[in-house]
């Protein structure tokens, strides 16, 4: 799985976990709904760290919590080899 897909899946998971719509996340994070949709639907496959940070704020989690998953740890190990 590539990094973009891992980020997209993490956002989708957090939306579902928090029973949150894209619009609600946009309101809480200050990120335009179109930007979030572009990430989720593949138009933007390289979201910046500032955008991810704002999305994290919308979910009320830290960047560490966002990236602290088995999927991201596996990505990090792949990059070390």
Which tokens go with 17? 């976990």
- The Cα–Cα gap between 44 and 47 comes to 6
Q: Just give the CATH number of 3-72.
A: 1.10.260.40
Where are the chain's structural domains?
3-72
pTM: 0.91
Q: What is the pLDDT along the chain (81 residues), one digit of tens a residue?
A: 788 999 999 999 999 999 999 999 999 999 999 999 999 999 998 999 999 999 999 999 999 999 999 999 887 767 666
- The Cα–Cα gap between 60 and 57 comes to 5
Q: How far is CA 65 from the centre of its chain?
A: 11
Which tokens go with 59? 């979910």
């Amino acid at each position: 799985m590539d990094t973009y897909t891992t980020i997209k899946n993490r956002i989708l998971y957090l939306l579902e976990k928090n029973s949150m719509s894209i619009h609600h996340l946009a309101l809480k994070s200050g990120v335009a709904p179109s930007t979030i949709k572009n990430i989720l639907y593949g138009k933007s496959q390289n979201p910046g760290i500032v955008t991810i940070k704002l999305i994290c704020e919308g979910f009320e989690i830290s960047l560490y919590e966002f990236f602290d998953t088995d999927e991201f740890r596996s990505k990090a190990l792949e990059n070390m080899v």
